[in-house]
Amino acid sequence: MKDQSLTSLSATPTRRKLMQVGGAGLALAALGAPALVRAQGGPKIRIGYWPIAAGLPFYAAIELGYFKDAGLNVEPLRFAAAQQVMEAVLADRSDGTANGTGSANIAIGELAAPGTFKIFCANPSNVKDVLDEMIVPVASTAKTMADLKGKRIGCGPGIQNVTLAKTILERGGATGTTVVELPLGQHVAALAAGQLDGCYTLEPVGTIGRLNGTTRVLEAGVISKYVLGDPMAPWFGGSASLSSTFIKKHPEEAKKFIAAYAKGVAYVRAKNVEARQYLKGYTAIEGALTAEVPLAAYTMYNEFKPADIAHFQKFFDLFSEKGIFSSRLMVDTMIYKG
Q: 215-274 pLDDT, tens per residue?
A: 999 999 999 999 999 999 999 999 999 999 999 999 999 999 999 999 999 999 999 999
Which one of 220, 251, 271 terminates a domain?
220
Residue 9 in this model has a pLDDT that exceeds 90: no
| Residue 190 and residue 82 share a domain | no
Percent share of the chain, pLDDT over 90: 85
pLDDT at residue 1, as a whole number = 39
User: Is residue 228 in some structural domain?
Assistant: no
pLDDT score at 22: 32
- Alpha carbon 85 to its chain centroid, in Å, reads 10
| 13-22 and 56-63 helices, crossing angle to 10° | 10
**Do residues 265 and 281 share a domain?**
yes
Antiparallel, parallel or unpaired: β 198-202 and 152-155 = parallel
- Shared domain check, 121 and 243: yes
pLDDT of residue 14: 40
With respect to residue 229, please indicate whether it lies within any of the assigned structural domains.
no
Decide if 55 is inside a domain: yes
Q: Tell which of 193, 220, 247 closes a domain.
A: 220
Q: Are strands 198-202 and 235-243 parallel, antiparallel or unpaired?
A: unpaired
Nearest in space to 261 (alpha carbons), one of 129, 124, 99, 130: 99
| Vertex 209 angle, CA 206 and 212, to 5° | 145
Looking at the fold, whether 105 and 122 belong to one and the same domain comes out as yes
Burial tier of 31 (Cβ tally within 10 Å: 0-12, 13-18, 19+): exposed
Count of CB atoms situated within 10 Å of the CB of 74: 25
The DSSP output letter for 260 is: H
Query: pLDDT of 121-174, one tens digit each?
Result: 999 999 999 999 999 999 999 999 999 999 999 999 999 999 999 999 999 999
Please check whether residue 70 lies inside any domain of the structure. yes
User: What's the pLDDT score for residue 18?
Assistant: 30
| Same domain as 117, residue 19 | yes
Kindly state whether residue 338 falls inside one of the protein's structural domains. no
**Which DSSP symbol is given to 53?**
G
Of 33-37, 40-44, 207-211, the range with the highest mean pLDDT is: 207-211
Predicted pLDDT of residue 41: 64
Instruction: Please tell me the pTM assigned to this model.
Output: 0.84
What range defines the domain where residue 303 resides?
5-126+235-333
Q: What is the DSSP letter of 282?
A: T
At 283, is the pLDDT very low, low, confident or very high (cuts 50, 70, 90)? very high
Distance CA 285, CA 283 (A): 6
Helix axes 306-321, 103-112, angle to 10 degrees: 70
In Å, what is the CA distance from 46 to each residue of 94, 238, 327? 5, 18, 29
pLDDT at 35 over 60: no
We report the CATH number of the domain holding residue 71 as 3.40.190.10
Tally of structural domains, the chain: 2
Instruction: Give the DSSP H/E element, type plus range, for residue 118.
Output: strand 117-125
Is 204 in contact with 284 (CB distance < 8 Å)? yes
User: How far apart (Å, rounded) are the C-alpha atoms in residues 185 and 174?
Assistant: 24
In this prediction, residue 288 has a pLDDT band, given cuts at 50, 70 and 90, of: confident
> Of 163, 193, 220, which residue is a domain's last?
220
Looking at residue 250, its amino acid is H
